Amino acid sequence: MKEMEVELLRLIEKNANLEVEKIAKLMGKSTDEIKELIGHLEKKKAILGYSTLIDWAKVLDKEEVTAMIDVKVAPARGVGFDKVAERIYRFPEVKAVYLMSGAYDLSVTVKGKTMMEIGHFISEKLSTLDSVLSTTTHFVLKKYKHDGIILEDEDEGDKRIVVSP
């Protein structure tokens, strides 16, 4: 059961678009079994959602701006970093928040239409929080690989000869 779950999750982690019928064939199971398993994994929140990886630059004239912000915070008694993290991750422009080991505490990824917009978020919302001690902002200049996917793979074509022993 566990193995089946892992196999299924690995398949749809790579391609959330894979039809149930195909998953069933690949795993050698019936479609009903796969549907049930997916339902089960959704219910226990192992599957949290199905998103699409998009290269917005291919569609919009200007790509959104992404910033990764290193945030130092003063943890609060009893709740540690969780409370301040929540204050931050509730903002819709915040796309990711991680608690980090090392020189700073929270790594916050923010997306905005312009650098100005992100600057505004940092100065108005983030750095004004009581427990935030300091922020260091890094803007992303170019994305090479995201979530395991290489964005501009020049030539992924099959380089094999068509028939071989």
d(CA 37, CA 23): 11
d(CA 9, CA 45): 12
Interface with other proteins, residue 162, by CB under 8 A: yes
Nearer to other proteins, 1 or 161 (CB): 161
| Kind and range of the H or E run holding 21 | helix 20-27
Place of tokens 């892992």: 6
**Site for other proteins, residues 18 to 57, rule: CB under 8 A:** 22, 25-28
Interface with other proteins, residue 11, by CB under 8 A: yes
Place of tokens 């004004």: 128
Q: In what order do the strands lie in the sheet with 94-99?
A: 94-99, 106-112, 65-73, 132-139
Interface with other proteins, residue 5, by CB under 8 A: no
Nearer to other proteins, 92 or 148 (CB): 148
- Which two three-digit tokens encode residue 11? 């398949």
Residues touching other proteins: how many (CB under 8 A)? 15
The nearest distance, CB 50 to other proteins, in angstroms, is 18
Interface with other proteins, residue 59, by CB under 8 A: no
Nearer to other proteins, 27 or 41 (CB): 27
Residues that bind other proteins (CB under 8 A): 7, 10-11, 22, 25-28, 158, 160-165
